[in-house]
Each structure stands twice: as structure tokens, then as C-alpha cells.
Structure 1
Amino acid sequence: MSSLLEIFFVIISLVEFIMGTLGNGFIVLINSTSWFKNQKISVIDFILTWLAISRMCVLWTTIAGASFRNFYKTLSYSKNFQISFDIIWTGANYLCIACTTCSSVFYLFKIANFSNSIFFWIKQRIHMVLLAIVLGTIIYFFLFLIAIYKWMKLEQNTTLPGLDNLSVFLVYQSFYNGILIFFFIVSLTSFVLLIFSLWNHLRRMKLQGIHTKDTSTEAHIRAMKTMMSFLLFFIIYYISNTLLILASSILDNVAVQFFSYNLTFLYLSFHPFLLVLWNSKFKRAFQCVLRKLVCHSGGYP
């Protein structure tokens, strides 16, 4: 990599990778310590723990794949290596998006309040809904692997006219993006419903002559901030993944690949710090760590 642009992208990627590992590792450490200490863990902390683990898996898998492709090209051209890398990377991505969707759905049914029998019925069975999202992701992942395997067999055994890199890219993207689009719609719907719930709540407060924020309003706002950040980074993450696959399979451009890594790591690296900032437990733990570091660096016991 001789160009300054490529070197710049590499440095940014490494910085984001380190920050992502530290931020997600901090969330896993705090929740795991609390789980071990109290012998129990809340649903949202369990979701956030697995979200952080899946993000670290994506980070480490992506950085490992980039390193092999650029420094161990002989190994990276191996078919077995490519298949193994794609399976791990896709599985980690699916788990990451599934946990993001679970958190949005949980916030909706935990905080929103609708006088609707269907909403109440689902709210009483929220654990089953979250389990269905995870199991559905696992099933789709195995179907995705079977579909890709069948396609590779077809590619090897037949001569199809016009079967080029672009065709393979489009087929792969069609299978890969199916569940991601579905999850994005679910997360977006949860966000819109939470806004509608907040609007109903504020209207009821106004009719009752209450003009100050209550705990329900603050809970709505905190959840909406978190869900909005999920949606924003969801879009960035989707664009970066698509660009990364396109750059790797068709363009074969190192600069474009590392630019894609920068976008991918942007979501995986900076969003954990937003979660720490907006979560009171993480924020207190982070402040405690900072105080100890300051005291230690200043020579205090």
C-alpha cells in the first residue's frame, strides 16, 4: 500500500478498531461482572452484552480478513479460507443486527403504552418475541449457507452465460440482505410506534393540566435517542457492508476497501460509547474507572 490515502485509511481503521474493542469490551465486562455478582441479569443488559460480543466478533473478523487479504494473499485466495471467513463474518453480522432489533423491540414494549389488546398480548410475551427473533435469525443464517452452497455447486458444474462477478455479487446480496431489510423495517416500526406512544402520553398530560416532564416522558426520550442512534448507524453499517462486498468482489480496490472498513468500524466503535453515555449503570462505572485512572496517574492511592 504505497499511496498516502491508503495509509491514512489504515491508521483510521486501526484507531476505530482499538476504540471498538475497548468500548464493547467495557460493556461486556460491566454486565458480566454484575451478572456474576448478583447471580441475575436484566433482559436489556443480556441483549446489550451479546450485542457487544457480536460487534467485537465483526471487528476482529473484519480486521483479520483485511490483514490476510493484504499481507497473506496466497492464503486469502484459498477457497476454504474464503468460505470460512464469509461464514464467521456473516454469522457475526446477523447476530449483531438481531441484537439491535431485539433492543428496539424491547424498548418499545417495555416503555410504550397502548390500549390495544394485541399490543398487550405481545407485551405479556415479550421474551418469546425476542427468542423468536434470535431463532429466526439462526434459521435464516443456515438457509443462507445452504443457498450459497447450492449456488457454488451450480457455478462449478454448469456453464451459465453471463455468470460474472457482478452476477455473483447480486445473488449474494439478495440472500444476504433479506433479513437485514426485514430487521430494519422492524426497528423503524418500533421507533415510529414509540414516537406515537410519546405523543399520546404528552397529549394526556396536557389534558390533565400537567406541563412538567414525568418519568414516563423521560423514559420515552431516552429510548428514542437510543433507537434513533441504532437506525442511523444501521444505515451507515448497511452502506459500508455493501460497499465492502462490492470492493472486495468486483472493484478489487484497496483504498475503497479500507474506506469501507472505516465506515463499518464507525458504527461498531463509536456507538458503544453512546450507550455508555446514555446508560446510568455504564456511565457510573465509566466515571469510576476514570477516577481510579486519574488517581493512579497522579500518585494517589
Structure 2
Amino acid sequence: MPTLFELFCFILLVIETLTGMVGNGFIAIVNYIDWHRSRKLSPVDMILSLLGLFRFPFHAVLIQVAIINVFFVDTFQKMNVYIAYNALWLFLNTPSLWFAAWLSVLYCVKIANCSHPLFLQMKRRFPGLVPWLLLGSVVFSAITTTVAITGSIILSKCNPFESHLNNKNDSAINTTSSCNIFYFFYLLPNFFPFVVFFFSSIFLLTSLWRHKNLQQNSVRDVSTEAHLNAIKALASFCILYISHFCVEILDTFMFWRDIKCAWIYIIAFNVIVAYSSGHAIILIFMNPKLKQESVRLLHWLKC
């Protein structure tokens, strides 16, 4: 039976999940309606649409995993159940991280001020590369999910922690090394988008710091306002993104050491859902079109 703390965290998780599903579903629907009317989407809308489409089912998978971990622990110990949910988790989560990283890069090339030829060339070409980057992210996710699931099947046959304690022979050491390699590949897909997001955010922050009007003039121009709005969104999302990445490392470490602790898992699920739900809310309030549609929807519901 789950403890009172676990039940409280689970209820909070349900609220966060519903918020995230509504927010990401709203983003996807608004952009689909806009595409249906005009038959075209801007690079920003493309990224937002795919973010909503991938995060909506991800929330559904996450709440199912949470229910199994809290109320039906024995079910999740079955290998076929674990592989199925792990495959869905990886395939839906990895592209979402890449889409968020490309969104931060797009903000950077559109808003940041830099006269370097390489940056100016990227500023011109990056919006046209967005569809191919999004497609490549999905393909990359499919490949890494296949590799990770194959590794999970192999990892189920070895326990490196017990090998260190009970065996000192060469075969045990070789088995442990093989297992560690598969754990490394399990974390690798989430590391690359984190690096892309981190450096694009740092570059945008540097651009804001160097903006002369921010220090010299008391009246802010349009460029500075654009910087500030983007930084508010990126700074808030950066905290959520880093928290999500740290939780992913913790989850992999617990699986590596075969640590089964329900309350740690339920807290980790809350952090992961807070990341995607919080980012959806930030995007809605920072995007003029989404904000206008949300106000219109709230007014319609009120009436």
C-alpha cells in the first residue's frame, strides 16, 4: 500500500499531468487550425506543433507508469511491461527535448545581435532547416530508442553491483564494463539536446548583456523588449530543463544500482511533468497568438 506522502505526490502528479495535457493539446490544436486556414506554418509554429503532439501522449504514458509504480509494483517488474513502457517513454521524450532545444536556437538566431559571418549565415539559413531538423530528431529518437531497448534486454541479464560484491574474476569485470556502456548510451540521447539548449541560451544571455540600450537608455526599444521576453521564457525553461535532465540521471543511476524506492520515483515523475507542463504554460503566455487564443477561450468558457 502506498504511503500518505506517496498518495499526496500522486494527486499532485495527476493535476500537473492534466494541466500539461490541456496546455500541450491547446498548442497543437491552435497551430493545426492556423495551418488549416493558411496552409502554411512558420518555423516557430512547426516546433510548437510537434512539441504539443509529442508531449500530449508522453503525459499519458507517464501517468500510466506512475500508477503502475505506486499501486501495481509487481506488474512493472515484468520484462515485457517494462520494455513496452520504456520504449514509449524514450521515443516520446527524446524528440520533445530536441524540439525544445531547436526552439531555443531559433529564438537565439532571431533575436540575438551578432555580426560574425557564421552567425549571420546561420540566421538566414536556420529557419529553412527547421523541418529537416525536426524530422531528423524523430529519426534519431527512433534509432536511440531501438538501441536503448536492446540494451535493456541485455542489462536484464546482468547485475553489475552484485558482480562487484560477489565476484572478483575477469568475467565479472567484463560483464560490468559491458553494462556500464549500455547505461552510457541510455543517457546519451538526452545529453546532446541539453548541450544545444545550454549554449544557445548562454549566447542569447550574452547578447542581452551587450545590448547598449539596456544600460545607456532608460527607454527600452523593441529589440531590447524582444530580448527580455525571450530571456524570461528561456530562463524559466532552463530551470525546468536542468531539473528534468538531473532527474533522468538519477533515474538511470537507480536502475543501474537496482534501487527500488517508490517515493523517489513519484517525486521524479512530478519533476518531469512539471518540466513539460510548465514549459507549455510559458509558451502560451509568451507567444502572442497562443496568448490571444487562450484569452478568447477563457472568455468563451466564462460566457
Match of residue 208, structure 2, among 192, 198, 202: 198
1:226 counterpart residue number? 233
**Aligned in 2, Cα 1:101/1:117: closer, same or farther, shift over 3 Å?**
same
Cα separation, partners in 2 of 1:77 and 1:165, compared to 1, 3 Å: farther
Cα distance change of structure 1 residues 233 and 172 upon mapping to structure 2, 3 Å threshold: farther
Question: Per-residue deviation at 1:201?
Answer: 3.5
Deviates more, 1:29-38 or 1:101-110: 29-38
CA distance in 2, matches of 1:61, 1:165: 31
Secondary structure at 1:40 match in 2: coil
Partner residue of 2:126?
126
What is the SS of the residue equivalent to 1:251? coil
Match of 1:64 in 2: 64
Q: Following superposition of structure 1 onto structure 2, how do residues 17-32 of structure 1 map, counting pairs within 5 Å?
A: 17-32=17-32
Match 2:295 to one of 279, 287, 297: 287
User: For residue 23 of structure 2, what is the amino acid of its counterpart?
Assistant: G
Say whether the 8 Å CA contact 2:21–2:277 is kept in structure 1.
yes
Specify the SS of the correspondent of 1:41: coil
The one-letter code matched in structure 1 to 2:219 is: T
Root-mean-square deviation (CA), in Å?
3.1
Q: Are 1:61 and 1:88, in contact at CA under 8 Å, matched by a contact in 2?
A: yes
2:14 and 2:226 mapped to 1: Cα distance?
Answer: 36
Matched, 1:268 2:286: no
Q: CA deviation at 1:44?
A: 0.5
| Corresponding position: 1:180 with 2:190 | yes
- Does the alignment pair 1:252 with 2:263? no
Corresponding position of 1:242: 249
Q: Which amino acid aligns with 2:242?
A: I
**CA offsets per residue over residues 95-137 of structure 1, 9 Å max, x none?**
1100010101101111223211111222222046543475156
Q: Deviations over 1:219-270 (max 9, x none)?
A: 1111122222221111111122333444566221111111111111111222
Distance 1:154 1:279 in 2: 44
Whether the 8 Å CA contact 2:213–2:221 is kept in 1: the answer is no
Q: Cα distance 1:166–1:31, how it changes in 2: closer, same or farther (>3 A)?
A: farther
Q: What residue number does 2:14 align with?
A: 14
TM-score by length of 1: 0.84
Give the drift of 1:176. Answer: 2.6
Inter-partner Cα distance in structure 2 for 1:294 and 1:195: 39
The separation in 2 between residues aligned to 1:251 and 1:150, in whole angstroms, is 19
Which ranges in structure 2 are unaligned for 5 or more consecutive residues?
Answer: 164-170
How far 1:165 sits from its partner (Å)?
A: 9.7
Range moving further from structure 2, 67-76 or 36-45? 67-76
Residue 113 of structure 2 aligns with which residue? 113
Change (3 A) 1:77 1:7: same
Q: Runs of 5+ in structure 1 lacking a partner?
A: 296-301
**1:107 is matched by which residue type in structure 2?**
Y
Cross-structure match for 2:38: 38
Structure-2 separation of matches of 1:75 and 1:42: 44
The one-letter code of the counterpart of 1:33 is I
CA separation of 1:155 and 1:10: change in aligned 2, threshold 3 A: closer
Match of 2:146 in 1: 145
Q: How much identity, in percent, do the aligned residues show? A: 27
Shifted more, 273-282 versus 139-148: the winner is 139-148
Task: Supply the AA of the counterpart residue of 1:106.
Answer: L
Matches within 5 A, 1:70-109: 70-72=70-72, 75-109=75-109
Tell me, what secondary structure is at the counterpart of 1:125? helix
Count of aligned pairs between the two proteins: 291
Tell me the amino acid that sits aligned with residue 289 of structure 2.
K
Give the conservation status (yes or no) of the 8 Å contact 1:47–1:99.
yes
Contact 1:247 1:256 in 2 (8 A): no
1: CA distance, partners of 2:213 / 2:254: 50
CA distance in 2, matches of 1:64, 1:92: 14
Q: Point out 4+ residue stretches in structure 1 off by more than 6 angstroms.
A: 163-167
